[in-house]
Amino acid sequence: MTINKKSDIYNIIGKNIKKYRIKKGLKQRELAEALYLSDSFIAKLESVTHQTISIDTLEDIASVLDCDIRDFFDKNVEINKK
């Protein structure tokens, strides 16, 4: 997969956040609460809506989801729902 637009990277990040959130067994609301963020912010991150995010927030999300921040940039993301 080639990243053609700036928004493509945000879509990749969002899909990977969703993947690791589901893997951890958390709902969007639970992830938001753990990070002191809004449910709608997490929902926008995981959707195709272009939502920007800071590196600091990505690091916080990675910490809660027990993954490495680099995992969010995997272009070959597949979401396995339980």
Q: What is the CATH number of the domain that holds 47?
A: 1.10.260.40
Whether 68 maps to a domain, the answer reads yes
Which residue shows structure tokens 């690091």? 59
Q: Count how many domains the chain has.
A: 1
Q: Is the pLDDT of residue 64 over 60?
A: yes
- pLDDT digit string (tens) for 25-43? 999 999 999 999 999 999 9
Whether 78 maps to a domain, the answer reads no
Cβ partners under 8 Å of residue 64, min gap 6: 24, 26, 31, 34, 35
Cα separation, 82 vs 25, in Å, equals: 9
pLDDT of residue 2: 53
Report the range of poorest mean pLDDT among 7-11, 36-40, 48-52. 48-52
